[in-house]
Structure 1
Amino acid sequence: MLLEDQIEMYRRQIATDSYPMSIGELANLYRDGEIDIHPEFQRIFRWRDGQKSRLVESVLLGIPLPSIFVAQNDKGIWDVVDGVQRLSTIFQFMGILRGEEGELFDPLICIDAPFLTHLDGCSYDAVEGAEKSLTPTQRLDFKRARVDMKIIKRESDNRAKYDLFQRLNSFGSVATEQELRNCLLVSMSKPHFEWLTAVSSDRNFLEVLDMPQRLLDERYHMELALRFTLLHSIPEPRLSSIRNIGEFLTEQLVNFADLSPRRLEEEMSVFTRTFEILAESGGADLLRRWNYAKSRPEGYFSLTAFEVLALGIAYNLPGRKSNFSDIGGKQRVLWSNPQFSAGRATGVRGDQRMKRTIPFGRQLFSS
């Protein structure tokens, strides 16, 4: 295929439009529920009041903002692809930003900005805690400021939308890859995001992981739930094709978002049963390294143990008539194996480790 043919083919997969809109028009769309900035993202962003105040300053000074990209969904609603924090800041300043439960955020009260030092203590409307507010004329100027909107139309190919989402994402300060995946997933399919949120909040799952709050805040437990779902029944030859586990998880979000409700029910059943078994058989200690010298588990959560024990149980669940027994014994078998010894299990890339752990776990629980 010639380059020109490829260009034409992929151009047809993405239908776009572009036009400027006033902040007032965008605010009305937001109030009417016709533009979705996904309040699920709010806890991810790290913009401080100083950054927000500089954005407000830019609008007041007429400094052009970067284009905002939105994708039109099947209902015609605009999902914000790039520009979530900019719109969130504008709407918070105007006092209309809402959270996940529909609650209003406290209106933004600016601090001093590089040029407009008198912006310090200023709000859009008069609100409690603000020293001053914009004048009626300044509010009109703010609402009439225009933003360039790039619209990815609903007839665009889903995979093309997904790829564009990744390329355009700027999101401010996303802390972890899984937080970015969550943003991608909720924009592709909110029900699938809610499913992943639900399974990763399973009581037995969290008990077995025994994660510090920092990792929970960074949504590492959601990454592990996604790993579990995508890997527990993956054909072994496919493991060889995984070059980077992070990229694999992100790429597979498109396929995950296409899973049917029935398939999600089946996956939920496997997930909850697996971690129920682990919780009843030893809990968090099972996913720690076994110290033979001290004859006890020690340390923190181990991905090696997760891939061998959790994925091994899940793979062997279908058609299993008897309960899994002596999982503690299988934990000791794992750590007595030379290929998983302390010197060989650490510092190994995830894709290389999984080529050993996943087949080993499946065999370990096969009888």
Structure 2
Amino acid sequence: MFSALKALLRKPPTIIGISVALAFQLIFSLVWMTAYDGMNERTDKLTVAIVNEDGEAGKAIGEQLAGKLPFHLENMSAEEAKDGLTKRDVQMVVTIPATFSEQLQTAGGKPELSFTINESNPATIKSIMQSAANSIGSALNQNVTLQGTEAVLQQLKLPEQQAHKVAESLSGRVAIKTELLNPVDGMNNQMVPMMLVLASFVGSMIMAMNVQQGFGMLGAAFSKWQKFGARIILNAATAVVVSLVGSSMVMALGGQAAHGMLELWMFQALFLVSFMFLAQMFIMLVGPAGMFLNMFMMSIQLVTSGAMAPRQMLNSFYGFLGEILPASYAVDGLMNLQFGGPAVGRQAAMLALITAICLLVCLVITALRRSKPALQAASVPEPEPEAA
């Protein structure tokens, strides 16, 4: 047994397998621990829009919220806030209706504060903003309602101390209304963008290694440009077929598709072909060692894509990486197509640009690489005619 183990450990595939397992631990630990470090202290990168329809009274409430919330608050019109929320530039909208202060000062009135959250976001955004909405409602009920009711009672000539006691008994009048934009149907759908991105890139990594080995087996039977053309056709055709299987499985298992199955399929094919050329670029550049670079790419893209945590809360270094890697645009587009949101023209254009850059790098690598001329069939001399 030990002799077999000793012989096995001498084989290159065994050494490579152990090295890959070790590399996964090192790479993921390094990337994830540095990327998520200090994220909770960067909640000020999240934006909450205040839509004030109640004039000066609403302005005072907005100022009170600004002093208590850890987010970046901006005053916006209703249209600006909705547009920002749809594009994920704004994480929550707080609307102070025109009748808020009037209802607050009316006996038996029920002032209402409206919160709008876009569920087409990482799950952490919904959790953070719903918690914030509850905190805001609680704070307003303890402060705004108490102060407003006390002022009204004093105007009715009640003694200050008695007015304060009555106001405390009436606190809790502010109603909190939470509206969800682009609702997500269950946790299974919430995880689809991350699942499709992860499955697509891991598949592209493994495909890159095997395709490169396949081209190596062809030897000098074909020129380097014939192989390069075959690579392009193979990637495009594989992306179309594989994405059809992936999107069909999602839909068959109850997945959402606000923009329809066809757009989901075509968009997945686009980011899948982008992943393929990115993964193959590193393999073509440094050979089998490119697998380790692809591990880095997978780990970094899972962190920076915005599928698990909002990109706004990442540090500037990882935020920059998210802007230049395809997974960020894949997740944005998938959320729009699945749950609802604007058209994915910008995301598709960025994925096409990244694909073109990777393809150009692959073309340069191919041009600089020497290759043996394609083998030609040996000509067989024709027999000479026999003399008569």
TM over 0.5: no
Q: Which structure's CA Rg is the greater one?
A: 2
Structure ranking higher in helix proportion: 2
Higher RCO by CA contacts (8 Å cutoff, separation 6 or greater) = 2
TM-score w.r.t. length of structure 1? 0.25
